[in-house]
Amino acid sequence: MNTHAHNSWEARAEEYSLYGFTDLPSIRDRGTVVVTHGEGPYIFDTNGKKYLDSNSGLWNMVAGFDHKGLAEAAKAQYDRFPGYHAFFGRMSDQTVALSERLIDVSPWDRGKVFYTNSGSEANDTMVKMLWFMGRAEGTPHKRKILTRGNAYHGVTAVSASMTAKPYNEVFGLPLDGFIHLTCPHYWREGAEGESEAEFTQRLAAELDDVITREGADTIAGFFAEPVLGAGGVIPPPEGYFQAMQAVLRKHDIPLISDEVICGFGRTGNVWGCETYDFIPDAIISSKALTAGYFPMGAVMLGPEMTDRLQSAIDPIEEFPHGFTASGHPVGCAVALKAIDVVLEEGLLDMVRAGAGRMEAGLAEIAKHPNIGELRGIGYMWALEAVREGKVPFESELSVSERIANTCTDHGLICRPLGQSVVLCPPFTLTDGQMDEMFEKLDGALRQVFSDIA
C-alpha cells in the first residue's frame, strides 16, 4: 500500500511528474522510488535505502554511479568550453577528436560520424539519411525499413515504427513502410523439431521472400540489434547474421547495426557485431558511449555509406538535419573519457573476466522449475518465467513485475520485460557484489513463485 506523506518526495513525484514505461498499478500500490545519489553499482533513495542496480541505470551506467574520472572530464570541459553546436562549419575540438576516435575503434578503416542526443534520435537520423540518399540517387520510392519482431530501436515516431512492440499501437504506429520480420528467438519461435541452423535458414528465406515481395528497389535498409535488448535479451541463433547479410548483399540493401545497448563492451567485445562476426554498413551508438554521464547518440557510417551520403549532399551543398546539442563539447569530452575507461582502464576486461561467473551463477538460479530459459552473453542476461515448459504465466499475474518489485524490496534493481527479468549490471561489479545480486534475485524468485504456484 502506498502510504507516502503528502509532501514527501514520493508524493511530489506522483503529483507533478509523468512516468515513462512504468507499471502504474505498482506506483499506486507501492509509490515512487526517488533516488538521490550513487556509489559504485549502488543507488540510494530519499529514505537512505541502498539498492544494487543490476540494470546499470538503463543499460548505460557501465562505470557505476560515481566514477571520478568521468565527472572530472565533464567538469574540466564545462570550465573550458561549456557548450556549442556543430552547425555552419563550426564544431568543438572535442567533437573532432571523438569522431576520429570512434572511427578508429570501428570495424572500418574510414568513415564519418553524426551526433544526436539519444539512440532514438540516432536511429531516426539514420532513416532520414537513407531516405535522403535514395531520393538523391533517383530512387525516391526506396523508403521501406526492415526490422524484427520484438526489436527496440527508440521512441520517436520513426524509431518507434521500427520498434516492433505492440504498445506502439496506442500511438497509431508503425507508420507505413516499416516491416517487421520474425523475431530471431529460437527457444520461443523455433518450430517443433527444427534445429537452430534450420531456424536461421528459415529466417533468411523469410527475409528473401519479403524483399522479393516488396521489391528490393523499395527497401532502404535493414536495422538489427546484435542482441535484442529491450526485447528481453535475445541473442541471435547460430549463423544468423551471416545468413541474413548474404541475402541483404544479394539485393544491395544495407545492414545497420543498432549498438545502442551492445556497443562498448556489453557483449564482451567493443561492438556486438564483433561478437557475432559481421561488419555492418553503419552503426548506431549511445548509452555506454558516455557511460551514461551525458545524453548522446551517434550515427557512424562505414566507407560506402559515407560516400553515398556525400554524393547526396554535394548537389545541394548541405545535409539539412541536426540538433542544437549535436556534438556537444562536454558530451564529446565525456565520451572520449568513457571510451578510455572501457577500453584502456580495464572495464572491458572485467566483463570478459566476469561473464562466465555471471552465466554460471544465473544458471544455478535457472534450475528453478518456473524458469523456462536463461539466455544472454557477456553482461546482459534474462531469465524467462513460465508456468511449465514454455507455457507463460497468466498475464493478469504480472509475474515479471512482481519479481522486479520483490527484488526492489530486497534491495536489488532489475528490469521486468514481458515474462522475463533482465540483469545488465555495471561492468565494475565485484565478485562479492555479483554474489549479492544472485542471492537477492534467487530469494525474490522463490518468494514470488511460492506465492503464485
- Residue 310 CB neighbours (<10 A): 13
Q: Full-prediction pTM beyond 0.85? A: yes
Cα–Cα distance for residue pair 139/132, rounded to 1 Å? 10
Question: Looking at the predicted structure, is the pLDDT value of residue 3 above 80?
Answer: no
Q: Which of 67, 46, 48 is nearest to 56 (CA)?
A: 67
For the stretch 65-70, contacts whose Cβ atoms lie closer than 8 Å and that sit 24 or more positions apart, written own/partner, are 65/37, 65/38, 65/39, 65/40, 65/41, 66/37, 66/38, 66/39, 66/40, 67/291, 67/293, 67/341, 69/337, 69/341, 69/345, 70/290, 70/291, 70/293, 70/334, 70/337, 70/338, 70/341
- Would you say residue 385 has pLDDT above 90? yes
Query: Rounded to whole angstroms, how far apart are CA atoms 307 and 304?
Result: 5
CB-CB contact of 348 with 265 (8 Å)? yes
- Check: CB of residue 286 under 8 Å from CB of residue 119: yes
Structure confidence by residue, pLDDT tens digits, 84-99: 999 999 999 999 999 9
Please state, in angstroms and rounded to a whole number, the distance separating the CA atoms of residues 410 and 212: 52
Mean pLDDT confidence for 63-72: 98
Residue 5: band (very low, low, confident or very high) from pLDDT cuts 50, 70, 90? confident
pLDDT digits (tens, 9 = 90+) for 251-269: 999 999 999 999 999 999 9
pLDDT tens-place string over residues 296-329? 999 999 999 999 999 999 999 999 999 999 999 9
pLDDT of residue 113 exceeding 80, the answer is yes
Burial 389-418 (b: 16+ CB within 10 A, else e): eeebbeeebbbbebbbbbbbebebbbbbbb
Band of pLDDT at residue 6, cut at 50, 70 and 90: confident
Cell of 125: 537520423
CB distance 305 to 220 below 8 Å: no
C-alpha cell at 13: 513525484
| pLDDT (mean) for 111-123 | 98
Model confidence over 158-193: pLDDT tens digits? 999 999 999 999 999 999 999 999 999 999 999 999
Rounded to an integer, the average pLDDT of 442-451 is 96
Q: Residue 262's pLDDT is what? A: 98
The pLDDT confidence band at residue 1, using thresholds 50, 70 and 90, is: low
Report d(CA 256, CA 300) in Å as an integer.
10
The mean per-residue pLDDT over the stretch 45-68 comes to 97
Give the mean pLDDT of 420-445: 98
Q: What is the mean pLDDT of the chain?
A: 96
Q: What pLDDT sits at residue 83?
A: 96
pLDDT band, residue 370 (cuts 50/70/90): very high
pLDDT score for 7: 86
User: What angle is formed at CA 440 by the lines to CA 439 and CA 441, rounded to 5 degrees?
Assistant: 95
* pLDDT for residue 243 is more than 90: yes
The pLDDT assigned to 4 comes to 66
